[in-house]
């Protein structure tokens, strides 16, 4: 087996939450280089892994062969996990793990266009199809670009950056986009954070509909998990973590109350998740091994026996 080209984040904590064992069926919703999948398989579980990136699916075939029938790779978005497993006659699983966002391999491959560390085509598509970052930035109007930068990158000067992007069109490479943003915002080589970071995050999230995919994936996981099943989600920025936290709080009924002053008020549906964890962050030892884990947060919860809200509705 070839070592994975990245280090899975919060792996020990994810495994401790899921407690994989022989006989369990587990979904790795974000296969990537297979770090979580490998640990789950080594514990004896059966794994269905999803990835919309054809490169990840191709590279994972060596693991499919190695584990001799215990790993199924699905070249699909994780929002489709319920439909994909239904075709195989699988209605319930024991755990779902999700590692949200861009993978280390995608960041490190300049020709994928996800990062400005390597100058490459302005692409950013996880699935390698559909609208690219260049397509969006070269055709969208200034207001649409500014809205994306503000919403998904939390860029306070989104209008200034959008104006600079429109003025510099057409843009073809990651280096061109980074230089435009740096000129618009001002950039000194000793600055702790490159000002282009927020723009690259925002455009990537928009092109791949990452937050919409996350919301749909969480709903699919709720529908698939059997009673006692575990949902474990690793996120990497506040936008993702906010969605996960809100989903689990709402699903658990946290903060929900029925006023005794409103006779006849209908209580909400029974909780579908319990035992919510607090946000778990990487240890200092992990950060030394893997600095990319710095912004990661793990949240996990246990599925109750209540019908999934999407089904109950």
The 10s digit of each residue's pLDDT in 20-69 is 999 999 999 999 989 999 999 999 999 999 999 999 999 999 999 999 99
pLDDT tens across 107-124, in order?
556 567 667 777 899 998
- Concatenating the DSSP letter of every residue in 115-157 gives -SSS--BS---SSS-S--HHHHHHHS-HHHHHHHHHHHH--TT
Cβ-based neighbours of 58, under 8 Å, separated by 6 or more: none
**pLDDT band at residue 105 under the 50/70/90 scheme:** low
CATH superfamily label, 11-105+210-312: Vaccinia Virus protein VP39 (3.40.50.150)
Helix (H, G, I), strand (E, B) or coil at 21: coil
Does CATH number 3.40.1190.20 belong to domain 106-208? Answer: no
CB-based contact 24:94 (threshold 8 Å): yes
The whole-number pLDDT of residue 267 equals 66
pLDDT tens across 60-78, in order?
999 999 999 999 999 999 9
Phi, psi of 226 (to 5 degrees): -85, 170
Q: What percent of the chain has a predicted confidence (pLDDT) above 70?
A: 89
DSSP H or E run through 74: strand 71-74
Whole-number Å distance between alpha carbons of 228 and 273: 9
Cβ-based neighbours of 181, under 8 Å, separated by 6 or more: 161, 164, 165, 195, 196, 199
Q: Is the pLDDT of residue 213 over 90?
A: yes
- CATH 3.40.50.150 maps onto the chain at 11-105+210-312
- CATH 1.10.150.170 maps onto the chain at 106-208
Tokens of 14: 């994810």
pLDDT tens across 231-274, in order?
999 999 999 999 999 999 999 998 565 555 566 556 678 999 99
């Amino acid at each position: 087996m070839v070592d994975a080209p990245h280090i899975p984040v919060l792996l020990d904590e994810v495994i401790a939450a899921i407690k994989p064992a022989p006989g369990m069926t587990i979904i790795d919703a974000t296969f990537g280089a297979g770090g979580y999948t490998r640990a789950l398989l080594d514990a004896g579980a059966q794994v269905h892994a999803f990835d919309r990136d054809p490169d990840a699916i191709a590279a994972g075939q060596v693991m499919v062969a190695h584990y001799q029938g215990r790993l199924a790779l699905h070249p699909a978005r994780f929002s489709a996990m319920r439909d994909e497993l239904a075709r195989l006659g699988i209605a319930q699983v024991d755990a779902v793990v999700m590692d949200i966002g861009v993978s280390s391999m995608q960041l490190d491959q300049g020709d994928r266009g996800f990062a400005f560390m390597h100058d490459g085509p302005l692409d950013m598509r996880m699935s390698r199809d559909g609208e690219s970052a260049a397509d969006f930035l070269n055709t969208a109007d200034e207001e649409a670009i500014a809205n994306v930068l503000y919403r998904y990158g939390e860029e306070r000067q989104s209008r200034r950056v959008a104006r600079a992007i429109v003025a510099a069109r057409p843009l073809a490479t990651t280096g061109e986009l980074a230089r435009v943003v740096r000129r618009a915002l001002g950039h000194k080589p000793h600055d702790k954070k490159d000002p282009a970071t927020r723009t690259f995050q925002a455009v990537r999230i928009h092109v791949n509909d990452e937050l919409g995919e996350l919301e749909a994936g969480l709903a699919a996981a709720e529908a698939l998990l059997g009673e006692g099943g575990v949902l474990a989600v690793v996120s990497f920025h506040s936008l993702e973590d906010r969605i996960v936290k809100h989903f689990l709080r709402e699903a658990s009924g946290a903060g929900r109350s029925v006023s005794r002053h409103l006779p006849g008020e209908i209580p909400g549906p029974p909780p579908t998740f319990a035992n919510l964890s607090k946000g778990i962050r990487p240890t200092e030892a992990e950060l030394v091994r893997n600095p990319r884990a710095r912004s990661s947060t793990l949240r996990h919860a246990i599925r109750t026996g209540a019908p999934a809200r999407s089904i109950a509705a």
